[in-house]
Amino acid sequence: MKTHDFMALYGGVYEHSPWVAERVARVAAGIVDVGRLAELMADCVDNAATEQQLALIRAHPDLAGKAGVAGELTEDSTAEQASAGLDRCTRVEFAKFRALNDAYKEKFGFPFVMAVRGRSRAEILEAFSTRLQNDYDVEFETALEEIHKIARLRLEAMGAEG
């Protein structure tokens, strides 16, 4: 598979970060095993410069945030947040999410990232509150781990073999 074709297929796996697919295209072209492809892409991110990792984390939208309400999320993010019911929050839940999003970004300088597919709003809010207690380094690594989970779920949803 040519780099262009690989990019067209996998460029959106990491939120607004096609550089991941671009960097692994040469070694991953032709790989259909979702586990191996996810591993290669995660390795690329894990070996990127800290500034690029931070930009990747910051590319993620707030959960149940303004972009979701305004319909400005990517198709994948929209589906992921809807699968967790984040598009059906009560006013009280939206207020909780807004307050937690603000507190989290104030403390860490990047948005709270969690692979929410298959999770409930209550589970997400609990994780939010718990993770707010972490220090920066732990939360930076946790955000990257969650991003890798999201990428793997997106690859699986695309129908890659595995």
pTM for this model (two decimals) = 0.92
Q: Report how far residue 92's alpha carbon sits from residue 137's, in angstroms, rounded to the nearest whole number.
A: 31
pLDDT tens sequence across 100-118:
999 999 999 999 999 999 9
Query: Long-range contacts: 21-26, Cβ < 8 Å, 24+?
Result: 25/1
The reply to whether 4 belongs to the active site is no
Give how far the C-alpha of residue 59 lies from the chain's centroid of Cα atoms, to the nearest Å. Answer: 8
The hierarchical CATH code for the domain 3-157 is: 1.10.3330.10
Catalytic entry in 4, 16, 60, 148: 60
Q: DSSP assignment of 143-160, as one string? A: HHHHHHHHHHHHHHHTT-
pLDDT tens sequence across 73-104:
788 988 999 899 999 999 999 999 999 999 99
Q: Where are the domains of the chain?
A: 3-157
